[in-house]
Structure 1
Amino acid sequence: MRFNHKQITFAREYRGYSQSDLASKISGLSQPNLSKHEKGFDVLSEDMVIKVIDYLGFPKDWLFKNISNFSENTHYRKRATLTKRDKTSIELGNRLIGHLIDQMSDSLEWPEFKHVPLDIQEGHTPKSIAQHARKMLGLNNGVPVTNIFSLLESKGIVVVEINAHVKFDGVSFITDGGTPVIIINKGFSNDRKRRTLAHEYGHILMHCYFAIPSHRTEKVREQEVEEFTSEFLMPEKHIGPMIRNLRIGDLAELKRYWLTSMSSIVRSAKELGFINNDRYVYFNIELSRGGRSDDKLSVFIDEPNLFAEAYNIHKKSLGYSKEELATAFNLPVDIVEKFLEPNTFRIIK
Structure 2
Amino acid sequence: MEFNYKQLTFAREYRKYSQTELASRIPGLSQSNLSKFEKGLDTLSNDLIEKIIDFLDFPKEFFQQHIPSMVENAEYRRRATITKGDRLDIEYSIRFISHLIDQMSNAIEWPDLKLKAIDIEDGFSPVSIAKLIRKQFKLKNGEPVKNIFSIIEQSGIIIYELDANEKFDGVSFQTENGFPLIIVNSNFSNDRKRFTLAHELGHLVMHVLTENPISEYRNKEKEADQFASEFLMPEDGIRNSLLNLKLSYLADLKSYWLTSMGAIIRKAKDLHCISADKYKYLNIELSRRGWKKNEPVHVFIDSPKLFSVGYKLHKNDLEYSDEELSKAFRVPTDVVKRYYNLPRGESKLRVVI
TM-score of Structure 1 vs Structure 2, range by shorter chain: over 0.9
Structure 1 counterpart of 2:131: 131
Structure 1 counterpart of 2:269: 270
Equivalences for residues 2-13 of structure 1 within 5 A: 2-13=2-13
2:141, 2:236 within 8 Å by CA — same for their partners in 1?
Answer: no
Structure 1 counterpart of 2:45: 45
* Cα shift at 1:120: 1.6
Structure 1 residue runs of 4+, over 6 Å off?
Answer: none
| C-alpha distance in 1 between matches for 2:259 and 2:188 | 13
Structure 1 counterpart of 2:175: 175
2:194, 2:259 within 8 Å by CA — same for their partners in 1?
Answer: yes
* Cα shift at 1:291: 7.7
1:157, 1:180 within 8 Å by CA — same for their partners in 2?
Answer: yes
Structure 1 counterpart of 2:350: none
| C-alpha distance in 1 between matches for 2:230 and 2:69 | 29
- Partner amino acid for 2:8? I
Q: Which deviates the most, 44-53 or 307-316?
A: 44-53
| C-alpha distance in 2 between matches for 1:83 and 1:271 | 34
* Cα shift at 1:292: 6.0
Structure 2 counterpart of 1:150: 150
Q: Which deviates the most, 266-275 or 189-198?
A: 266-275
- Partner amino acid for 1:104? M
* Cα shift at 1:32: 1.2
| C-alpha distance in 1 between matches for 2:130 and 2:46 | 53
- Partner amino acid for 2:240? P
Structure 1 counterpart of 2:120: 120
Q: Which deviates the most, 205-214 or 248-257?
A: 205-214
Tell me whether 1:72 sits opposite 2:72 in the alignment. yes
1:69, 1:98 within 8 Å by CA — same for their partners in 2?
Answer: no
Q: Which runs of 5+ in 2 are unaligned?
A: 348-353
Percent of paired sites with the same residue:
52
| C-alpha distance in 2 between matches for 1:336 and 1:98 | 13
Q: Which runs of 5+ in 1 are unaligned?
A: none
Q: Deviations over 1:301-342 (max 9, x none)?
A: 0011101100011001110000000010001110001000x2
| C-alpha distance in 1 between matches for 2:248 and 2:16 | 49
1:76, 1:171 within 8 Å by CA — same for their partners in 2?
Answer: yes
| C-alpha distance in 1 between matches for 2:345 and 2:118 | 34
Which residue among 335, 344, 347 is the counterpart of 1:346?
344
| C-alpha distance in 1 between matches for 2:277 and 2:289 | 21
Q: Normalised by the size of structure 1, how large is the TM-score? A: 0.95
SS in 1 for 2:87: helix
| C-alpha distance in 1 between matches for 2:180 and 2:18 | 32
Structure 1 counterpart of 2:216: 215
SS in 1 for 2:108: coil
| C-alpha distance in 1 between matches for 2:49 and 2:129 | 49
* Cα shift at 1:141: 3.0
Q: What is the number of equivalent residue pairs in this alignment?
A: 345
- Partner amino acid for 1:231? E
* Cα shift at 1:60: 0.5
SS in 2 for 1:111: coil
Superposition RMSD in Å? 1.6
Tell me whether 1:244 sits opposite 2:243 in the alignment. yes
| C-alpha distance in 2 between matches for 1:206 and 1:95 | 22
Q: Which deviates the most, 283-292 or 251-260?
A: 283-292
